[in-house]
């Protein structure tokens, strides 16, 4: 068995999912007798990540002081390095108190089944100033047009903190049985494959030629044994390509264009924060937990609109303490197909090129072409991938 990178903050992973079937049945019965709340989608996503051990070593939802510490200094009160608050925020906590156990119901599944049971250790209210301070620190803006800012501030001001026991993985296991994997499962498979040096690639989009070649470049330059394409399966902003379409496009690309047994295609259940640099650090933490030694961080990683500088998600790794993380990042520039060299290159590594020497298409232009049934040039997108995307866009036109 390969000797893998350590999880973040502990020697072994601590998944909060209750894997023992009898214990889970007992907890499900207990849950029916407990006070219950339908939580926000963000809180449900946090539960899934805690259950799957991606958020190791956290044991539940943060207190007010933990969340403020994380916002201000990227540390919880006990000193755990963490970049974003992990909260159960509600409008009101009526009907239960400190010391009670409560059932957390899933907002994203019909009938709102119980997702987790929480032991309430504290119920605290953030002031408007504290919410603003956390928002500014994590998202670098308080603009409500920012989808992450809007989602964070829509949940309420009351934080219910305390440990949780997770009973299921929401809709992710059922909707994405081939793709959803826990950190425990990915770490185990990496070990079984004997991979030592493992590159993780984060995506919420289908992968074009530039992404494909970037992964290949990272693997070659790092001498990696394998690549884990790890796609976000949770809530996105309107207009983003749905996960099943992305999944099909990525599987087709890997099958046709990567050597066998060099790529794992997996996904995780989380709602995108669009928090740019802070979210890049969160991405690094949970990739370390799943056993990756390197994470590719490209231009505007986890960003949205013009809220972040092109390389802010890379430079934040120069600002965090040296001992904060074991995982390393592979810094990527914009990649594009060079007509001069007949291959995809990082643009910063082709100083003798002008813009005209590259095949460059805006996201808007690509969407237009696909909607019109027109495949982008093969230098931009593999024809087999373009076909899947054309079918999706044309079905949207109805």
CATH code of residue 152: 3.10.400.10
Is residue 191's pLDDT more than 60? yes
Residue 5 maps to a domain:
no
Residues 78 and 195 in one domain: no
**Greatest CA separation for the chain:** 69
Residues 222 and 200 in one domain: yes
In the prediction, which pLDDT does 398 show? 63
Residues 227 and 370 in one domain: yes
Which of these, 342, 340, 376, lies nearest to 357 by C-alpha position?
340
Residue 136 maps to a domain:
yes
Give the residue from 136, 155, 173 where a domain finishes: 173
- The confidence band for 238, taking pLDDT boundaries of 50, 70 and 90, is confident
Give the residue from 150, 173, 196 where a domain finishes: 173
Residues 150 and 216 in one domain: no
Q: pLDDT tens, 349-390?
A: 999 999 999 999 988 899 899 999 999 999 999 999 999 999
Q: H or E segment at 298? A: none
Residues 153 and 193 in one domain: no
- The confidence band for 17, taking pLDDT boundaries of 50, 70 and 90, is very high
In the prediction, which pLDDT does 240 show? 79
Tokens of 270: 């989380």
Residue 303 maps to a domain:
yes
Residue 148 maps to a domain:
yes
What burial class does residue 239 get, using C-beta atoms within 10 Å of its C-beta: 0-12 exposed, 13-18 middle, 19+ buried?
exposed
Tell me, what DSSP letter sits at residue 377? P
* CA dist list (Å): 213 to 109, 159, 166, 329: 37, 44, 38, 17
Strand partners, 75: 81
The per-residue pLDDT of the chain, averaged, comes to: 96
Q: Model pTM greater than 0.85?
A: yes
Question: Would you say 166 and 118 are in contact if contact means Cβ atoms under 8 Å apart?
Answer: no
Which of these, 347, 314, 349, 319, lies nearest to 331 by C-alpha position?
314
In the prediction, which pLDDT does 294 show? 98
How far is residue 209's CA from residue 228's CA, in Å, rounded to a whole number?
A: 17
How far is residue 369's CA from residue 391's CA, in Å, rounded to a whole number?
A: 12
CB-side exposure of 11: number of CA atoms within 13 Å? 0
Is residue 1's pLDDT more than 70? no
Residue 376 maps to a domain:
yes
Question: Would you say 167 and 117 are in contact if contact means Cβ atoms under 8 Å apart?
Answer: yes
Residues 169 and 184 in one domain: no
* SS3 at position 32: coil
In the prediction, which pLDDT does 204 show? 87
- The confidence band for 313, taking pLDDT boundaries of 50, 70 and 90, is very high
How far is residue 118's CA from residue 100's CA, in Å, rounded to a whole number?
A: 8
Give the residue from 145, 173, 201 where a domain finishes: 173
In the prediction, which pLDDT does 2 show? 60
> Mean pLDDT, to the nearest integer, of 211-235?
95
Residues 74 and 58 in one domain: yes
* CA dist list (Å): 214 to 173, 310, 319: 29, 17, 25
CATH code of residue 324: 3.40.50.620
205 given a catalytic annotation:
yes
Number of structural domains, the chain? 2
> Mean pLDDT, to the nearest integer, of 107-120?
98
CB atoms within 10 A of CB 41: 17
Pairing between strand 101-105 and 226-232? unpaired
Residue 269 maps to a domain:
yes
How far is residue 26's CA from residue 302's CA, in Å, rounded to a whole number?
A: 39
75 given a catalytic annotation:
no
- Give the residue numbers spanning the domain of 296: 179-397
Which of these, 211, 216, 296, lies nearest to 263 by C-alpha position?
216
Residues 288 and 369 in one domain: yes
The single residue listed with the structure tokens 């805690």 is: 50
Residues 206 and 345 in one domain: yes
How much of the chain, in percent, has pLDDT values that exceed 90?
93
Residues 183 and 159 in one domain: no
Cis peptide before 57 (omega within 30 of 0): yes
Residues 163 and 249 in one domain: no
Which of these, 270, 259, 255, lies nearest to 302 by C-alpha position?
270
Residues 248 and 164 in one domain: no
CB atoms within 10 A of CB 360: 14
How much of the chain, in percent, has pLDDT values that exceed 70?
99
Sequence-distant (≥ 6) Cβ neighbours of residue 326 within 8 angstroms: 5, 6, 8, 288, 293
Question: Would you say 224 and 218 are in contact if contact means Cβ atoms under 8 Å apart?
Answer: yes
Residue 11 maps to a domain:
no
In the prediction, which pLDDT does 364 show? 87
- The confidence band for 332, taking pLDDT boundaries of 50, 70 and 90, is very high
- The confidence band for 136, taking pLDDT boundaries of 50, 70 and 90, is very high
Given the residues 204, 216, 251, 367, select the one marked as catalytic: 204
Q: H or E segment at 294? A: strand 294-297
Residue 4 maps to a domain:
no
Q: pLDDT tens, 245-279?
A: 999 999 999 999 999 999 999 999 999 999 999 99
- The confidence band for 138, taking pLDDT boundaries of 50, 70 and 90, is very high
Q: pLDDT tens, 34-93?
A: 999 999 999 999 999 999 999 999 999 999 999 999 999 999 999 999 999 999 999 999
Given the residues 14, 24, 205, 216, select the one marked as catalytic: 205
DSSP E strand boundaries for 147-262: 158-166, 198-203, 226-232
CB-side exposure of 224: number of CA atoms within 13 Å? 27
């Amino acid at each position: 068995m390969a000797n893998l990178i350590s999880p973040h903050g502990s020697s072994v992973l601590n998944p909060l999912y209750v894997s023992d079937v009898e214990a889970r049945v007992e907890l499900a019965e207990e849950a029916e007798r407990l006070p219950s709340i339908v939580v926000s989608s963000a809180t449900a996503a946090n539960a899934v990540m805690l259950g799957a051990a991606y958020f190791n070593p956290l044991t539940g939802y943060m207190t007010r002081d933990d969340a403020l510490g994380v916002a201000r200094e990227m540390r919880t009160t006990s000193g755990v390095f963490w970049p974003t608050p992990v909260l159960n925020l509600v409008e009101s906590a009526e009907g239960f108190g400190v010391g009670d156990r409560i059932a957390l119901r899933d907002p994203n599944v019909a009938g709102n089944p119980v997702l987790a049971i929480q032991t309430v250790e504290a119920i605290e209210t953030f002031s408007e100033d504290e919410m603003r301070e956390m928002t500014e620190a994590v998202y670098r803006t308080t603009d409500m047009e920012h989808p992450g800012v809007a989602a964070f501030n829509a949940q309420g001001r009351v934080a219910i903190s305390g440990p949780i026991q997770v009973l299921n993985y929401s809709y992710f296991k059922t909707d994405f049985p081939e793709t959803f994997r826990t950190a425990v499962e990915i770490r185990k498979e990496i070990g079984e494959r004997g991979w030592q040096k493992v590159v993780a690639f984060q995506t919420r989009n289908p992968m074009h030629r530039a992404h494909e070649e970037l992964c290949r470049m990272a693997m070659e330059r790092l001498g990696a044994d394998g690549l884990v394409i790890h796609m976000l399966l949770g809530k996105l902003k309107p207009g983003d390509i749905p996960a099943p379409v992305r999944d099909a496009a990525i599987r087709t690309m890997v099958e046709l264009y990567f050597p066998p047994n060099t790529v794992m295609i997996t996904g995780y259940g989380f709602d995108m924060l669009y928090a740019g640099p802070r979210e890049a650090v969160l991405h690094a933490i949970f990739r370390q937990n799943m056993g990756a030694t390197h994470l590719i961080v490209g231009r505007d990683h986890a960003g949205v609109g013009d809220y972040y500088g092109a390389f802010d998600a890379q430079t934040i790794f120069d600002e965090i303490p040296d001992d904060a993380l074991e995982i390393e990042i592979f810094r990527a520039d914009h990649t594009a197909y060079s007509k001069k060299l007949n291959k995809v290159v990082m643009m910063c590594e082709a100083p003798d090129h002008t813009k005209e020497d590259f095949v460059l298409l805006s996201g808007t232009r690509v969407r237009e072409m696909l909607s019109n049934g027109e495949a982008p040039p093969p230098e931009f997108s593999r024809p087999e991938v373009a076909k899947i995307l054309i079918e999706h866009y044309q079905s949207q036109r109805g």
